[in-house]
Every structure is written in structure tokens, then in C-alpha cells.
Amino acid sequence: MTKPTQQNEKTLKEIAELVKGTLEGDPQKIIKGVNSLEAATPDEISFFSNPRYLEKAKNSKAGAILVRDKSGLEGKNLIIVEDPYLAICILLDEFYPLTKRFEGISSLAFVHPYASIGEGVSILPFSYIGKNTKIGENTFIASHVYIGDEVEIGKECVIYPMVSIYSNCSIGDRCIIHSGVVIGSDGFGFAWDKNRYRKLNHIGKVVIEEDVEIGSNTTIDRATFGETRIGKGTKIDNLVQIGHNVKIGKNCAIVAQVGISGSTEIGNNVIIGGQVGIVGHIKIEDDVKIGAKSGVHRDLKRGEIVSGIPVLPHKEWLKLNLIFQRLLMKDKW
Amino acid sequence: MTKPTQQNEKTLKEIAELVKGTLEGDPQKIIKGVNSLEAATPDEISFFSNPRYLEKAKNSKAGAILVRDKSGLEGKNLIIVEDPYLAICILLDEFYPLTKRFEGISSLAFVHPYASIGEGVSILPFSYIGKNTKIGENTFIASHVYIGDEVEIGKECVIYPMVSIYSNCSIGDRCIIHSGVVIGSDGFGFAWDKNRYRKLNHIGKVVIEEDVEIGSNTTIDRATFGETRIGKGTKIDNLVQIGHNVKIGKNCAIVAQVGISGSTEIGNNVIIGGQVGIVGHIKIEDDVKIGAKSGVHRDLKRGEIVSGIPVLPHKEWLKLNLIFQRLLMKDKW
Amino acid sequence: MTKPTQQNEKTLKEIAELVKGTLEGDPQKIIKGVNSLEAATPDEISFFSNPRYLEKAKNSKAGAILVRDKSGLEGKNLIIVEDPYLAICILLDEFYPLTKRFEGISSLAFVHPYASIGEGVSILPFSYIGKNTKIGENTFIASHVYIGDEVEIGKECVIYPMVSIYSNCSIGDRCIIHSGVVIGSDGFGFAWDKNRYRKLNHIGKVVIEEDVEIGSNTTIDRATFGETRIGKGTKIDNLVQIGHNVKIGKNCAIVAQVGISGSTEIGNNVIIGGQVGIVGHIKIEDDVKIGAKSGVHRDLKRGEIVSGIPVLPHKEWLKLNLIFQRLLMKDKW
């Protein structure tokens, strides 16, 4: 995988159609790439959505800017769209298409004779594919990847270096797994036996559904029995810990350094802020939002928005912080 | 290491004897495996210990259930034991014995000619064993393992892929080290020298005693001088950080994403919840329990139970949260 | 890289000159090494700076002690210096010079024919160097390192096993990168597109300036566009997460398990305690200090010292904890 390089140029008229936006400015202006407000040249397009950056937008040399509304930026070439971030996402794909280099199977890789490798699969040097493991077509396996025995990997996945996938796990189509991820290590389960911890032999597995992306150095433990499961389209950031038998639904976003303890169930479209900790054996329903650094000790109902350690409804948590401010101001010492 | 497969079948009478329990039900009933309450079939045994799961236990199709007492589950085949979790642990070993596959030393591994490799050792492709390093008998070293120079590894260890053990460290018998663990990287020690940080050359090492298990992507730094030490039987979860010169006693349990700063000393049988942070240079005595997400800034005496940032006695922390609730309720805005 | 071994001996007179200290004691006494207060022998020198360890200093068998002042330790060989920690740092370099073993380029490594490798570079078995990548002279690359295409690595770096450096990133001279570090993985950027997350193609890179040290299993994401940048001389501990487009200044110290969200800018000489979380898109000015476990949700001005979730001025945070103590004491339940 190399950094994609710019391959297209388009007029603002073409771009406005592509992102379903309204152009205010010169339809014939040619755009050759995408960049940040500060760095964009008059050949490039940028986007403005965070109000913090209004001054940067005003001073930008960008040839055009994707905006939600034009206030404060009159006179520039603007394309008005509902979601500038989505629009820039579409343009990044358009101007810098990611081309997965087909490299075939390196003679420096170890592929078990009983592994089954689909067409168009690349396996780079020093990667290891175990016995009875299946790799779906057009999947790209970088160098230094370990895939154990009896694993199933879907089609069109990208697996970066230093990824470890223990035996018996399965990964859906189009997943992206970044460096250092560990999938299927044993859960943290020990029974106290007189005077020592005795290890629970973990006989379950991990199932990752389609279109999941997993950030660097994240760890996902195998189930004691049954499975640990990550739902379709869920995105997980770096250094996240997911315990044994956790179930996560579809289209969740889990920010860096979150920890989810064993057997907890999480619904669909849940958003979990960075460094949140969640105890085991609880249930978090669909559409919940959990503020960064929170500690979740109880079930959360559909659509709840919570913050704090332990979590409170987000509005109460804000109010509690104001109460603390008043206590500080009143204090006479 | 492959997932263990079921190899035995037993009557409930035999199982009751094995786990030292009292059978209520059919002694001749044959059991072929172990599973969760939801997934168990009439051929399988399950366990019930968390009261949250009473409904699941009632509705379970399991052929028998290990329980602490029979209330609510009358009529099912039950085995009454003191600790159902320990009983299931024993049965997992019995039904699914973990068979370490002997694979010998791969011709694709690098083993220094001056390394000393015990009998029955497996070293898989792309692993590196340094100069003067000793590997004890029957230890299993997966692929992509780095073991530096002058390291000692005990007998019957299992070292998973992508583990890094820096030079001069030592690991006791029967340790299990999961993927991505780093043992012996330099501590975070820098002296301020006029206008820049100057690195302290770390000349110490890490000593891991027997029967320690270390979870994926955990990092344990080498001592500045002397040693960082993890005591016998201690279990460490994923993504834990252990600083230089930390000493941890025997049979501790350290949950995921804990951070322990340099030179702190921890006694025996200490339990540390997930995402706890502990400052450097303090002493935590035997049998202490630290609630998840706490921040420990002071010494803790034998048997203390604490929570909060900074830590309070656990009961005071609970009370403080109730006081916050009242402040919220009283507030008139 | 092996542990440095003692190679010198010096008189206390020579040592006092080296560390610019005042000797109280025998100038001809010979010292052969450096050790902790507890473990030092009469042939070794130690240091005393944390007042917690006064009893250890009194009972130490060390042949001499580096101290800030002599009170309580009269009668021992003492060298009085402004900063005993810096003095011991200087002596560690003197007694245990780190000798980087030149090993050349292993025939078991993969080096792309279009990579450019400087003189004196070592590349150990199972390392991978990509196309058009440049490695500066005398850099040491351990085993199992992945360096993608079009990467630039400076001179005299040390890169430990299992490090992943994605394509197009650059690393300055004399950097030290510990095992399991990931540099240049994609930022956590997804746009919501009707009913699913759509990945932002990340076309930026990571730039690490000179003299940076990065601890084990830390992750640094590439920029969406432009660069993520770590300033000269900054030191980063283990398991730290640095988001896309973050800019960190010079000579910062970032303790273990910190998380810094996307696009945040941090000045020079900033100190960030362990497990701190910092939201995205904020600005933290020079000389700020952030207490361990804090949650930073707002800009911080030059020299601010803050603690808490969310952060308060450190003194207010201390006061707030005292107010909580009083609330607990007053409470009648």
C-alpha cells in the first residue's frame, strides 16, 4: 500500500455535481487536489466545518472551499453542501484513489500447504498463514502478519504489518486491520483455586463482520465459549481493549484507548469517546453516546447520552461541574 | 497452538466427583462438552454464578448446570459447588485439554549459534533467538518472536507471535506471553540538561517469575539499575503499562489498560481494576483492591479497598457519589 | 543492542569534576559502577534526590552518594550537585557506554532494490525496507521491523523489533523507537454517509524530528492531509496515542497511555502526565503542565498547570478535593 497520488483534475462545476452541492463562484475553475485550509493552493479545494477555523477559512488561498453556508466567506469560490466533511471524503476518493498494489505471494512468506488462498491475494515477506486457513480474493496481507490455523479472512481486506490473528477467528469482507492489532488472544479469565489463579481454557473465537476497520495496537480477546463479535461497519480506533465475549453491533464508532470488559453487549450506532471504560456483563442499547473518559458501570437505554465516572446523563454531568465551580467560588479559605 | 477440541465424555456422577460437588439429577446422564447458558445443548454442561443471568439459566437447554445453590432452577440437572466458575474451569481442562503441538525448530527461524535450546522446544518461522540466550525445555515459541541476547526463558512457556523480549531479561517456567507484549524496553527516564532531555542509560533488566500470564500489547520496562520484577502467579491483562523498577508481588490480578509508574512496589494478592493509574515511588501492600479507573497517588495499607481520582476508601467514594446526586437534586436552576 | 557492561573505573575526585560537584570525602576512593541505594556496593556510587528514600540513603553501602545537600548523610562520601539525577545520568553514560553493535545487512532481511542504505547501517533478520526508502548512516534496525515505501530515516537512529513505519513518513537523526510502535497508520476519520461510515482516505504523513524517543506500542497516526509532527527532543512513553494532524513542539515529555485527539497543537516544553486525554482541535501553549489522568477539553495558555476531568487550575483541583473531604465529614447518614 503506498500513499495515493493525485490523478485527476476537475472543474468546480463537475465537483459541485459530484458532492451534490450548490456552487457560488466560477464553474470553469480547475481543481487539481484537496488540502487543508492553511496549506491549500489556488489549484486545490478545502473544506470549512468547524467554526473554530473561520479565520483560517477567510485567509485560505484555496481555489474553492466546501461550506455549510457562505456567511463570512462571501467573494470566495464556495460549494454549499449539507456536510462539508462528507463532501471532502468523496473528493479524497476522487482525486486520490487508493490503488492496492498486487504483489502476489512472496517466496519469503510461509503459507501452510493446506491453506486456501483466493485469486488476487498478495502476501508479503515474513508473513505466516496457518493450516486450513482461507484468505478471500484480492485481500492484501502486508509483511510480518501472523494468521493462525483455521482462520477465515474475507475478500478485499487489507491487513497491515505485525497483525496477529489467533487460530479459529474469522474476519469479514473489506476489513482494514492496522499494525499491531491482536485478534483472538485469550480472555482474562482465571478462577481462584485455593492459593493461586487457575487459567480458564478459552475455547471460543472472535468474529469480525464486514467493513470493520481496526486501529493500531488494538486487542480483541477470544470468547471463553462462543464468540466475541464486532458488527458490520463498526470502526475501532487505536489501542482499544475488547474483552472476551463482548458483542458490538453495527456502525459503532469506538475512539482510542477505550476498554470494554468481558461479556458486555453493545447495540448499533453507539459512539464511545476516547479512554472510556465499560464494566463487564452490562447492556448498552442502540444510539447511545458516551463522553470521553467516562466510566460506565450500568446498563444504558436506547439513545442515552452520558458522561462522568461513574456516568450520569450528560446534562447532569455538565450541571455537576457548574456546581463544583460554585463550591470553589464560595469557599473562603 | 490450535483451539483445543473436545476429546472426552463423562457422566454427571463422574463430573460431580471431579468438581467435588453435590449432584441433584440423573447420575448416568452423559455430558460431552461445556458451553454458555444460551448456547449449551442437552449434551453440554454450563454454569450459573452471576445473578444477572437467572433467566438465561432457567431457559437454558444445557444438560446440566453448575450452581452455588439450586433456588429457582429446581427440576434441572444441577451440580452444587462452592464456586461454579472454578468448577467450569476444571471441566474446560478436562473436556478440552490444550495440546501444545511440537513443531521443532523451523528452518525459517534465526537461532544464534550460541543460543541454548532445551529439548522439546518449538520455534516457528521468522522468530529470532539471540546470542547466549537459553530456552527451557518444552517451551513453545510461535512465529515472529524476538528474543534478544542473554535472555533466560523457563520451561513449558508459550510465547505468542510479535512478542519482543529485550536483552538480559528473564522469564520463569510456565509463563504465557500474548502477542505484541514488549518486555525490557527502556524506562521513561530523562534528566533535564540545560535545554534538552538527556536519556538515562538503562542498565537493569526485567524478571518475570513462574506462572505469570501477560496479555496482548502489554509493556514492561527494564529497570534503570537492578530489576523490574513480576511475582509468581500474577496475571496481567492487555495493554497494561509497567514502569521501570516496579516490583509486583505474587498472585496479583491487573486488569487491562492499567498504568504503574516507575519504582512503585506492589504486594501479593493485589487486585487492580481496569484503567487504573498509579504514581511512581509508592508502596501498595498485600490484599489491596483498587476500583477501575482510579488514580492512586499515595501508599495503600494492607487490605485497603479504594476507588476514585484521587483514591478514597471505597465506601467514602460511594458516599461522595450519593452526595453529588443530592447536590444535583437540590439545585434550582 | 546488548546491555552495556561496565568498562571504566574512576576516583571520586575525577567523578566530582565530571559532574561539576563538590566532593565531601575521600578524593582517591575508586568507583567502578553505578547502582541504586539498596543494591550499591562499596565500589559503586548511587544518588539521593527523592526525600522518601532518606532512610535508604542512610543505610546504603554505596561507596559514595550524589546528593543535593549533605543533611542527614554526614560522614559518608558525598558529592554535592545541583541535580543528582542529572549527575547519575552523566555517570551512567561514563561507566556503561552504549555500544551499538554493527551487524551489517542480514541476508535474512528484505531490502527493496530501490532502497538507499547509508554506511554503517545494520538491518537484522526478518526486517523489511520498502521501495525508495532511505536509511541514514549508522542507523541500527533490529529484527522484525517494517519500513514502508518512500520513508526517510535519519542517521544514528535505533529502531527496535516489531516497529511499523508506514509509507511516506520521515524520522529525524538519532531517534530511538521502541518495539511495537506504529507510525503512520490512518487517522480515525469517517464521514457519516446516509447509513454507514465512509472512510476518509488519509493522504498526509507523519514527521518525527531529531532526537525523539518513542516508547513501546505507542501509535502515531498519519495526517488526513499535511502532516502529524513530533518536535525535536520530545520524549514519548509507552502506549501513547497521537491522532492525525496533531502537532507537538520541542522537548515535551508525554507519559504513558496519554491520548491526544486529532488536529490538536501542543507547544514546546509541555509535560503531560500519564493517562491524560486531550480532545481534538485545541491549542496547548508552551510550558504547560497537565496532571496525570486529566481530561483536557479547552485551550491552555502558556505556563498553565492543570488537573482534573475536566481540567481546572491545579490549585483549584486540590481545593475541590478538600471541599469533597469536608462534604464527606459533614455528612450525617
Domain count, chain B: 2
At B91, list the grid cell: 471441566
pLDDT at B71 over 60: yes
Helices (H), B21-180: 54-59, 84-95
Determine, for residues A281 and B52 on separate chains, whether the beta-carbon distance falls below 8 Å: yes
Q: B205 to chain C, minimum CA–CA distance in Å?
A: 9
Asked whether residue C91 falls in the same domain as residue C223, the answer is no
Q: Which of C46, C66, C95 is the last residue of a domain?
A: C95
C-alpha triplet C184, C126, B239: angle, nearest 5°: 50
Contact call for residues B174 and B154 (beta carbons, < 8 A): yes
Whether A191 maps to a domain, the answer reads yes
Asked whether residue A222 falls in the same domain as residue A83, the answer is no
Instruction: Assign A266 a pLDDT band (cuts: 50, 70, 90).
Output: very high
pLDDT at C121 over 80: yes
Spatial separation of the C-alpha atoms in residues A222 and A205, rounded to whole Å: 5
Whether C121 maps to a domain, the answer reads no
| 3-state DSSP assignment of residue B29 | coil
pLDDT of C90: 96
pLDDT of B97: 82
Q: C168 to chain A, minimum CA–CA distance in Å?
A: 7
Asked whether residue A167 falls in the same domain as residue A263, the answer is yes
Using CA coordinates, name the residue in chain C closest to B281.
Answer: C52
When the pLDDT of each residue in chain B is averaged and rounded to a whole number, the result is: 95
User: Is C200 in CB contact (< 8 Å) with chain A?
Assistant: yes
User: Is C55 in CB contact (< 8 Å) with chain B?
Assistant: no
User: Is A271 in CB contact (< 8 Å) with chain C?
Assistant: no
| Contacting residues of C for A333, CB less than 8 Å apart | 319
Instruction: Give the mean model confidence (pLDDT) for residues A155-182.
Output: 98
| Closest of B256, A207, A88 to residue C198, by C-alpha | A88
User: Is B148 in CB contact (< 8 Å) with chain C?
Assistant: yes
The residues of A annotated with a catalytic role in the active site are 244
Instruction: Assign A330 a pLDDT band (cuts: 50, 70, 90).
Output: confident
Instruction: Give the mean model confidence (pLDDT) for residues A227-232.
Output: 98
Instruction: Report the CATH number that the domain containing residue B289 is assigned in CATH.
Output: 2.160.10.10
pLDDT of A98: 75
* ipTM for the assembly: 0.96
Percent of chain A with pLDDT over 70: 97
Spatial separation of the C-alpha atoms in residues A271 and A280, rounded to whole Å: 18
Alpha-carbon dihedral angle through residues C82, C84, C89, C91, given to the nearest 10 degrees: 100
pLDDT at B225 over 70: yes
Instruction: Assign C101 a pLDDT band (cuts: 50, 70, 90).
Output: confident
Whether B320 maps to a domain, the answer reads no
Model confidence pLDDT, tens digit, residues C236-291: 999 999 999 999 999 999 999 999 999 999 999 999 999 999 999 999 999 999 99
Whether A2 maps to a domain, the answer reads no
Give the mutation candidate from A241, A272, A318, A326 for the B interface (greatest B CB count, under 10 A). Answer: A241
pLDDT of A8: 79
User: Is C316 in CB contact (< 8 Å) with chain A?
Assistant: yes
Using CA coordinates, name the residue in chain C closest to A46.
Answer: C225
Using CA coordinates, name the residue in chain A closest to B214.
Answer: A188
Range 89-108 of C in CB contact (< 8 A) with B: 89-90, 92-93, 96, 98, 108
- CA distances to B240, B263, C48 from B221, rounded to whole Å, are 11, 11, 22
A243 compared with A330, residue with greater pLDDT: A243
pLDDT of C269: 98
| Contacting residues of C for B257, CB less than 8 Å apart | 257
Model confidence pLDDT, tens digit, residues B55-64: 999 999 999 9
pLDDT at A2 over 70: no
Instruction: Give the mean model confidence (pLDDT) for residues A261-271.
Output: 98
Asked whether residue B91 falls in the same domain as residue B183, the answer is no
Whether B327 maps to a domain, the answer reads no
Whether C110 maps to a domain, the answer reads no
Asked whether residue B187 falls in the same domain as residue B279, the answer is yes
Asked whether residue A173 falls in the same domain as residue A38, the answer is no
Whether B131 maps to a domain, the answer reads no
Model confidence pLDDT, tens digit, residues C162-204: 999 999 999 999 999 999 999 999 999 999 999 999 999 999 9
Asked whether residue B192 falls in the same domain as residue B50, the answer is no
Q: B115 to chain C, minimum CA–CA distance in Å?
A: 15
The count of CB pairs under 8 A between chains B and C is 178
- List chains touching B (3+ CB pairs under 8 A): A, C
Asked whether residue C90 falls in the same domain as residue C209, the answer is no
Q: A47-56, A148-157, A176-185: which range is least confident on average?
A: A47-56
Asked whether residue C91 falls in the same domain as residue C169, the answer is no
Structural domain that includes position C184: 162-315
pLDDT at B3 over 60: no
pLDDT of A164: 98
Instruction: Assign B332 a pLDDT band (cuts: 50, 70, 90).
Output: low
Q: B114 to chain A, minimum CA–CA distance in Å?
A: 24
C7 compared with C128, residue with greater pLDDT: C128
Determine, for residues C217 and B180 on separate chains, whether the beta-carbon distance falls below 8 Å: yes
Nearest to C128 among A126, A237, A256 (CB): A126
Asked whether residue B167 falls in the same domain as residue B88, the answer is no
Asked whether residue C311 falls in the same domain as residue C224, the answer is yes
pLDDT of A101: 75
Spatial separation of the C-alpha atoms in residues C262 and A50, rounded to whole Å: 13
pLDDT of B239: 98
Q: Which of C244, C281, C297, C314 is catalytic?
A: C244
The residues of B annotated with a catalytic role in the active site are 244
Instruction: Report the CATH number that the domain containing residue C39 is assigned in CATH.
Output: 3.40.1390.10
Asked whether residue A203 falls in the same domain as residue A303, the answer is yes
| Closest of C159, C164, C210 to residue C185, by C-alpha | C164
Percent of chain B with pLDDT over 90: 92
Instruction: Give the mean model confidence (pLDDT) for residues B235-264.
Output: 98
Q: B332 to chain C, minimum CA–CA distance in Å?
A: 20
Instruction: Assign A323 a pLDDT band (cuts: 50, 70, 90).
Output: very high
* Residue C244 annotated in active site: yes
User: Is C323 in CB contact (< 8 Å) with chain A?
Assistant: yes
Instruction: Give the mean model confidence (pLDDT) for residues A219-239.
Output: 97
Instruction: Assign C6 a pLDDT band (cuts: 50, 70, 90).
Output: low
Q: Can you give the three-state secondary structure of A153-169, one letter per residue?
A: ECCCCEECCCCEECCCC
Using CA coordinates, name the residue in chain B closest to A281.
Answer: B52
At B43, list the grid cell: 449434551
Whether B128 maps to a domain, the answer reads no
pLDDT of B5: 55
